[in-house]
Amino acid sequence: SQTIHQWPATLVQPVGSPLSLECTVEGTSNPNLYWYRQAAGRGLQLLFYSVGIGQISSEVPQNLSASRPQDRQFILSSKKLLLSDSGFYLCACSGGNQPQHFGDGTRLSIL
């Protein structure tokens, strides 16, 4: 079965600093990968998804970008963080028509 690793688990960053969150997947090959953000007390907003290496689709315009340098690696980045980037970031993975499975998330606080 697939396992999704996210790190770090928590992160506190100043406004204007860069960001790099990493997600790696084990137990599957050529998965679809997803980044979601969950604002406090809210549902999930899909930020990016990827169906293969170097293939990134953005769902909403924002201050963030994503990259997929390897089949099972998905990275979420920003050059300059905004206060509004605070939230709980979740990476998810699915293969074919299988359900999405989620990592444990990264809680990002911007000061």
Q: Which residues bind other proteins (CB under 8 A)?
A: 6, 32, 34, 42-44, 46, 49, 51, 57, 90, 92, 94, 96-105, 107
Nearer to other proteins, 21 or 92 (CB): 92
Nearest-approach distance from CB 3 to other proteins, in angstroms:
12
Q: Which is nearer to other proteins, 3 or 17 (CB)?
A: 3
At closest approach, how far in Å is the CB of 15 from other proteins? 24
3-class SS letters over the chain: CCEEEEECCEEEECCCCCEEEEEEEECCCCCEEEEEEECCCCCEEEEEEEEECCEEEECCCCCCEEEEEECCEEEEEECCCCHHHCEEEEEEEECCCCCCEECCCEEEEEC
Report the residue number, 15 or 53, with the smaller CB distance to other proteins: 53
Nearer to other proteins by Cβ, of 17 and 55: the residue is: 55
Least CB distance from residue 79 to other proteins, whole Å? Answer: 26
